[in-house]
A and B are shown apart, each in its own frame.
Chain A
């Protein structure tokens, strides 16, 4: 194996250290091979005399019309320690009955086979004859590159010959039995835990038998948990020796179809687990008291201890002192201003450098012009810094450790990976404020929508700076009115009825703003404004050498121009997708950014010509599909109307639309009565009404979802307003010649 260092991206001398470290670790990882569990022949190992699947079970008749049936889905994870690195190897075997051409096609080719991915395959014909595929003979070379591995400041390409295989003699009715042995899973020195693994058992085909075995050692810690009806894992280790084996089996698993407004991890059976080497504060895992004993829950105390070990709230953070000094701010203003200052100081002031580095806009590495560049891109670091500031300001706060609703409930917590941290600031306990890790355009007093409505841990410090107490709290759910999009359309017909001219102004707030702001704003448009506001230096002003200055002052504006034109194209595409019709002569302008206050709106205007596909001729009159202007609406198909699952949505939200239509001279409107609708219930609503004044028709619509969750019993109520909104989107008016 040959390591090739991509010099173009590794050109900066500062990366030399990283290169050196990488080479050492790479050599090391090769050395570990010597300690692989010895399997001379994978075929003999898998298809041995003891193979439980040497004789295949009968496939239940209920699945005879399925595309394929998975007779066995088996995973064997092997963990072992080699030279301070925790290594993972995986042997996975599947036995699948192929019932149609689609499934034959799906399992007829394998790729990326190589030294680290060994494959064995046999085909069992309907008459019982068995054909073991000679993989070495049948495979063909497909590539020499194993992709790239990103490392700080560049990436490294690993060269290894890869092959692919088309399975010979594979036909409808056959059973394919294959096993893949993954021999290397990126071991990293010094890491004390293996990556957490979560496997949703059900999939697109029904499964007769699912088996998962974890082979580890007595001196390793293990966490395993199953959810949503999956049976408990068992410790089936031999009584003697150092080896441990944990096993999980499940039978008769129906396939699943993904459906809207549903979180798979809350319904489908799955297994999750993690192996750790040591109980240490550097271990990014919840580690139990006893080695090798299955840990299937995390106690409050363990969570507290884990975060006690990794939080540092006496950071001595002084970052914003200078900025806040001499400013006549209230306490609330101080902590809010500090947040925005930190967003600039630890993140946004480096945007220009990051852009310049990525796009080669300076001769030298632009980061070298920041004395000691400190940037915060990790959540924990942000929490440490901001909490230290709050402590200095003597403002009471709690650290909230939550898991996204889509990942399950806090009681199901097993890995720290699942946790998102944010701070609850109790300046006024009646009206707490919230901060979470900043991004380029994030706001103070904001809780990520995906955490809302889930139970979480609240951790608090005592008199000192260490976390001392833990309790469970409920994360509040935002109001649908706060998460609002308000769009106003002004529509006129031009060139008779040839084209439709549209002006649209959009104002977004709450989560609707947060979800769109990164797409709508070009960070480079705000760097100047932010530098001036927070007295940080522009990259250009940091460039001392003429060669950098000259290159940057020419290439940066050209780069910015390119970004603006690319963005404009993508806005046009997304608008066409949203409205479901083609547009032309598109223009876009941001009016308000909403970057400095959660309550401020993000607003922008768009102007475009809609082609006359929305107009249909009816003698001297025109039918106009005015309903299309509220955007594509969800239409529930008949088969989904009997939904049995609960409804889990992103967050409560609302959408206002105002459509102003200028009626051409000599015409009048018919069909206005159809524009007045009102459906409201506890789950949400859709209302619309119209006014006609002179030649101006104004339609106001309002659609809202009250909650982020509805029990299945409320589905029929949701259908009422969803259907009303969809029907409105199909609504036409008649523009009638007078």
Chain B
């Protein structure tokens, strides 16, 4: 009897599995839909059929904070034969994740277990950022899952924006924002011109909320390209500015304007005890032999650059509050805020008016007209001498006083000023100040080019070079320098390398060496073919498929002049044609001439704005075709 029941139970169980298994598998409709979507998005493995995000605001009476409840649900479909993707949800000390689920298409749980770990980013030594993550396997074309979770922000201040697009193409997405009548939240729409958005606004009287709905359809996946500008520059998103609330009939200001933002930042600074006794002796010894203000500022600034290791921390409130200067001094490491604070306190000891200053690097599209913590991501120190301001970013190693890294140029800076603040802008640089000059004097020896090359680095090209060379192992410097120049090409033999003082950031850097470039000349019958441009710079910058702006590390100007002696008995048969281009972002020219017994080749490359903007991408694509052809062209010498 028992075995009979057992059999029945087993049978029931088995049939249940068969049925449910079938329920997970894609239907014919799902398969056709997947094929259709795969045609529309051939490079994508997964699409989001439906994506809904609901944003609700609430009031935490106990903490006296406005909180945010963010609910997500995404329906994925597989566009390929089999795909595996990682699912991840980021959170930190200011947010919590709950009710995470992954379901099959029949709403039955897929039994996915999420791991919960610190999110280790290479550039951050320590951060409170955590992720819940799991791998999700789509075994068949058209396979679907629904993935949902809730995220709760403990304070509306930390809820800054939400993006409309996704890393997967979207068939339909809806963002619903329910703003209660007691809360004043402004929703800023940013970069929305790039997609078509259906907007809806309605009052839900019985709940006392205003509901905003944003719907998008058939949107391509976020473009994943290297050297891109930050996402807030080009991705469509909503920025939330929570200004005030009137819960319990009392108006309470949150972040209504820049002053409120400053007030909060400043309140964190006021919490510092600024006991700088331990810095005194060192600071005074640094400026001991300096007579002018500028010399003193320079001495302290360079000392912090050289002696404090930059280690990034982002840990809860420590992500906004600087470390005590004494601690940074003791540890000899710190993040940007810690380094800025140490610079400030040392400057104060030296008798200067020094202030902490908040700034958003060029990665961030916002400015201080927006009262949100998303507006900045960096801190520097401003020293005011008479009416002149010195902006000191000690995280920029080998940066001379008075020059500013590309990433902060032209950016607004919010300078500490007791109860108020000063808003200023970091001066901009021009590419000419970063010029890298290469002068080569070469002659032909059989199938080789030999001669001397002199290079000069100024501005950020120099800073970049100094940083790299000074971080190399001492015993490997010559070897690595050779590699840096020759890029590992075995056809190059370098001798007599000389370099000026690599610890002096105030002088231009000069590098010279003797070169033998094997296989640079091809001789056929009575003719010599010269491949004159060894580096063929920017040949690899192939933007055939690129869609977003390309960011360069700094405004680059490379002037190259190469002179080749024409060997006796030869005359020039053909020189490549000159080539030039000039537009908003880049100005490039190639010029060739022969003069008596010499060939002179001059190449000037100028990326004026440290970027090839989206609007100039097609100009670059067109020029790049010519550039590749240019580099293929040979100089031909023939026997007289």
Docked-complex contact A732 and B21, CB < 8 angstroms: no
**Within 8 Å CB of A141, what residues of B?**
118, 126
In the complex, A143 has a CB within 8 A of chain B: yes
CB-CB under 8 A for A142 and B522, given A99-B474, A363-B21: no
**Within 8 Å CB of B18, what residues of A?**
546-547, 550
Docked-complex contact B471 and A101, CB < 8 angstroms: yes
**Chain A CB within 10 A, most for which of B25, B120, B331, B518:** B331
In the complex, B279 has a CB within 8 A of chain A: no
Classify chain A's interface size. 35 or more
In the complex, A725 has a CB within 8 A of chain B: no
**Within 8 Å CB of A66, what residues of B?**
474-475
CB contact between B476 and one of A67, A144, A545, A619 (< 8 Å): that residue: A67
> What 1/0 flags go to B571-582 for Cβ under 8 Å of A?
001100000000
In the complex, B473 has a CB within 8 A of chain A: yes
In the complex, A61 has a CB within 8 A of chain B: no
Docked-complex contact B311 and A100, CB < 8 angstroms: no
Selecting from B175-183, B201-209, B402-410, B629-637, the interface stretch reads: B629-637
> What 1/0 flags go to B468-485 for Cβ under 8 Å of A?
001111111000000000
Docked-complex contact A143 and B117, CB < 8 angstroms: yes
Closest to A550 in B: B21
Docked-complex contact A619 and B573, CB < 8 angstroms: yes
Docked-complex contact A102 and B471, CB < 8 angstroms: yes
**Within 8 Å CB of B331, what residues of A?**
138, 166, 168-169
Q: How many angstroms from the CA of A555 to the CA of B307 in the assembled complex?
A: 59
Closest to A672 in B: B524
Selecting from B136-144, B231-239, B269-277, B609-617, the interface stretch reads: B136-144
Closest to B315 in A: A140
Q: Within the complex, what minimum Cβ distance (angstroms) separates A39 from chain B?
A: 28
CB contact between A726 and one of B113, B470, B490 (< 8 Å): that residue: B490
CB contact between B81 and one of A100, A561, A635 (< 8 Å): that residue: A561
In the complex, A670 has a CB within 8 A of chain B: yes
Q: Within the complex, what minimum Cβ distance (angstroms) separates B354 from chain A?
A: 23
**Within 8 Å CB of B633, what residues of A?**
616-618
> Which residues of A522-569 have CB atoms within 8 Å of chain B's CB atoms?
545-547, 550-551, 554-555, 557-559, 561-562, 565
**Chain A CB within 10 A, most for which of B111, B126, B470, B531:** B126
Q: How many angstroms from the CA of A102 to the CA of B477 in the assembled complex?
A: 11
In the complex, A7 has a CB within 8 A of chain B: yes
**Within 8 Å CB of B311, what residues of A?**
166
In the complex, A170 has a CB within 8 A of chain B: yes
CB-CB under 8 A for A102 and B472, given A8-B111, A8-B113, A171-B332: yes
Docked-complex contact A559 and B634, CB < 8 angstroms: no
In the complex, A3 has a CB within 8 A of chain B: no
Q: How many angstroms from the CA of A612 to the CA of B525 in the assembled complex?
A: 24
Q: How many angstroms from the CA of A24 to the CA of B330 in the assembled complex?
A: 47
Closest to B490 in A: A635
Docked-complex contact B529 and A562, CB < 8 angstroms: no
Closest to B519 in A: A730
In the complex, A105 has a CB within 8 A of chain B: yes
> Which residues of B247-303 have CB atoms within 8 Å of chain A's CB atoms?
none
Docked-complex contact B474 and A562, CB < 8 angstroms: no
Closest to A545 in B: B14
**Chain A CB within 10 A, most for which of B117, B518, B524:** B524
Docked-complex contact B333 and A562, CB < 8 angstroms: no
In the complex, A316 has a CB within 8 A of chain B: no
In the complex, B7 has a CB within 8 A of chain A: no
In the complex, B597 has a CB within 8 A of chain A: no
CB-CB under 8 A for A554 and B470, given A8-B113, A171-B332: no
Docked-complex contact A559 and B21, CB < 8 angstroms: no
In the complex, A136 has a CB within 8 A of chain B: no
> Which residues of B522-575 have CB atoms within 8 Å of chain A's CB atoms?
522, 524-525, 529, 531, 573-574
> Which residues of A597-631 have CB atoms within 8 Å of chain B's CB atoms?
612-613, 615-619, 623
Q: Within the complex, what minimum Cβ distance (angstroms) separates B25 from chain A?
A: 7
Docked-complex contact A555 and B632, CB < 8 angstroms: no
In the complex, A43 has a CB within 8 A of chain B: no
Docked-complex contact B490 and A109, CB < 8 angstroms: no
In the complex, A127 has a CB within 8 A of chain B: no
Closest to A106 in B: B473
Docked-complex contact A164 and B473, CB < 8 angstroms: no
In the complex, A637 has a CB within 8 A of chain B: yes
Docked-complex contact A623 and B333, CB < 8 angstroms: no
Closest to B22 in A: A550
> Which residues of B451-501 have CB atoms within 8 Å of chain A's CB atoms?
470-476, 490-491, 493
In the complex, B82 has a CB within 8 A of chain A: yes
Docked-complex contact B473 and A67, CB < 8 angstroms: yes
CB-CB under 8 A for A616 and B473, given A144-B117, A166-B125, A551-B21: no
In the complex, A671 has a CB within 8 A of chain B: yes
**Within 8 Å CB of B471, what residues of A?**
101-102, 105
Q: How many angstroms from the CA of A547 to the CA of B125 in the assembled complex?
A: 49
Closest to B474 in A: A100
Number of chain B residues whose Cβ lies closer than 8 Å to a Cβ of chain A: 56
Docked-complex contact B332 and A100, CB < 8 angstroms: no
> What 1/0 flags go to B104-143 for Cβ under 8 Å of A?
0000000111010110100001100000000001011100
Docked-complex contact B493 and A547, CB < 8 angstroms: no
Docked-complex contact B632 and A617, CB < 8 angstroms: yes
Closest to B329 in A: A169
> Which residues of B358-407 have CB atoms within 8 Å of chain A's CB atoms?
none
In the complex, A361 has a CB within 8 A of chain B: yes
**Within 8 Å CB of A100, what residues of B?**
473-474
Docked-complex contact A109 and B125, CB < 8 angstroms: yes
Q: How many angstroms from the CA of A100 to the CA of B469 in the assembled complex?
A: 11
> Which residues of B69-86 have CB atoms within 8 Å of chain A's CB atoms?
80-83
**Within 8 Å CB of B493, what residues of A?**
638
> Which residues of A415-455 have CB atoms within 8 Å of chain B's CB atoms?
none
**Within 8 Å CB of B632, what residues of A?**
612-613, 615-617
Q: How many angstroms from the CA of A34 to the CA of B472 in the assembled complex?
A: 46
**Within 8 Å CB of A461, what residues of B?**
none
**Within 8 Å CB of B140, what residues of A?**
554-555, 558
Closest to A169 in B: B332
Q: How many angstroms from the CA of A615 to the CA of B631 in the assembled complex?
A: 10
In the complex, B223 has a CB within 8 A of chain A: no
Closest to B17 in A: A547
**Within 8 Å CB of A361, what residues of B?**
139
Closest to A174 in B: B332
> What 1/0 flags go to A548-592 for Cβ under 8 Å of B?
001100110111011001000000000000000000000000000
> What 1/0 flags go to A1-29 for Cβ under 8 Å of B?
00000111000000000000000000000
**Chain A CB within 10 A, most for which of B83, B126, B139, B470:** B139
Docked-complex contact B531 and A166, CB < 8 angstroms: no
**Within 8 Å CB of A314, what residues of B?**
none
CB-CB under 8 A for A168 and B333, given A101-B470, A143-B118: yes
In the complex, B309 has a CB within 8 A of chain A: yes
Q: How many angstroms from the CA of A558 to the CA of B45 in the assembled complex?
A: 13
Docked-complex contact A617 and B82, CB < 8 angstroms: no
> What 1/0 flags go to A139-159 for Cβ under 8 Å of B?
011111100000000000000
Docked-complex contact A616 and B525, CB < 8 angstroms: no
**Within 8 Å CB of A623, what residues of B?**
522, 529, 634
Q: How many angstroms from the CA of A540 to the CA of B172 in the assembled complex?
A: 39
Closest to B24 in A: A551
**Other A-B pairs beyond A551-B21, A561-B82, A616-B633, 4, CB < 8 Å:** A169-B330, A545-B14, A565-B81, A730-B491
Q: List 21 A-B contacts (CB under 8 A).
A: A6-B113, A8-B112, A67-B476, A101-B470, A105-B471, A138-B331, A140-B315, A142-B120, A143-B118, A360-B137, A360-B139, A545-B14, A547-B14, A555-B82, A557-B81, A562-B80, A562-B82, A617-B632, A636-B490, A671-B522, A734-B524
Could you tell me which B residues sit within 8 Å of A by CB distance? 14, 17-18, 21-22, 25, 80-83, 111-113, 115, 117-118, 120, 125-126, 137, 139-141, 307, 309, 311, 315, 330-333, 470-476, 490-491, 493, 518-519, 522, 524-525, 529, 531, 573-574, 628-629, 632-634, 636
Q: Which 3 A-B pairs have the closest CB atoms?
A: A635-B490, A168-B331, A67-B473
